[in-house]
Amino acid sequence: MSYTQVQLQPAFILQHRKYRESSLILDVLTRDFGIVSILARGVRKPKSKTAGLLLAFTDLKLSYMGRNELKVLTNVELGETTIQLKGLSLYCGFYVNELLGYFLHKNDPHPEVYIEYQHCLTLLAKTQETEQILRFFELNLMDYIGYGFELSFDVKKQTQVDIAKKYSCDTEAGMIESVDGYVSGATLLSLTAREHLDEHALYEAKQLMRRIIDFQLQGKVLKSRAVLAKIIKQL
């Protein structure tokens, strides 16, 4: 692997883990290089000034270098956007981070996903429509990484979905009209247009996206999903 030196790359920390006595290994979502693993040396020492900056959901600019897959952090600065997630929004943020960890390959650039992620966090920090924000993020993520399909089209009839009909999802092909369908044509059209979803549409959209995501996960379990469900029940 060739030597890499990157200066002040926009990034968000997705997760971290302890390394030796005083360091951390960070998995970060960068704007131009995808997910990168970075060693932050000595940041767990009591007098470290960097540790207070290396937090999840914080807009950062990271400098790092190295020849191996694990890069070494050389500098960190705060970005221009201030994001503060609290309560339910915080748990939603952890869910989004876990999604990215499963669906993005390391060192595979997806600038559009970085922008979508930043937009998602900003909305979570400002509004309480967390369910709608998550559904739209899931949809856009699937589209960006090549797992999306046309929700407004009935693949069996080869026609646009009817707002008065019910549909099921063939996870390998698309939407199909079905008397036992769990999502209405109206909801599918609203999702396609990223329009406001009422309570019933949110319920249908959640069932749909869970099926799509679970199919792509191929048996992997989203731990944050169970935690988020418990938090929502308590509200």
Q: How far is CA 100 from the centre of its chain?
A: 5
Q: What are the respective helix, strand and coil percentages of the chain, to the nearest 5?
A: 35, 25, 35
Cα distance between residue 9 and residue 24, in whole Å? 19
State residue 44's pLDDT score: 93
pTM of the model: 0.94
State residue 60's pLDDT score: 97
In degrees and rounded to multiples of 5, residue 17 shows phi and psi of -145, 150
| 135-189 pLDDT tens trace | 999 999 999 999 998 999 999 999 999 999 999 999 989 999 999 999 999 999 9
State residue 235's pLDDT score: 66
CB 69 within 8 A of CB 107: yes
What string of pLDDT tens digits covers the 235 residues of the chain? 678 899 999 999 999 999 999 999 999 999 999 999 999 999 999 888 888 899 999 999 999 999 999 999 999 999 988 899 999 999 999 999 999 999 999 999 999 999 999 999 999 999 889 999 999 999 999 999 999 989 999 999 999 999 999 999 999 899 999 999 999 999 999 999 999 999 999 999 999 999 999 999 998 989 998 888 888 777 6
Q: Which two tokens stand for residue 66?
A: 């190295």
Cα distance between residue 36 and residue 62, in whole Å? 11
Cα distance between residue 9 and residue 144, in whole Å? 21
CB 65 within 8 A of CB 212: no
State residue 162's pLDDT score: 97
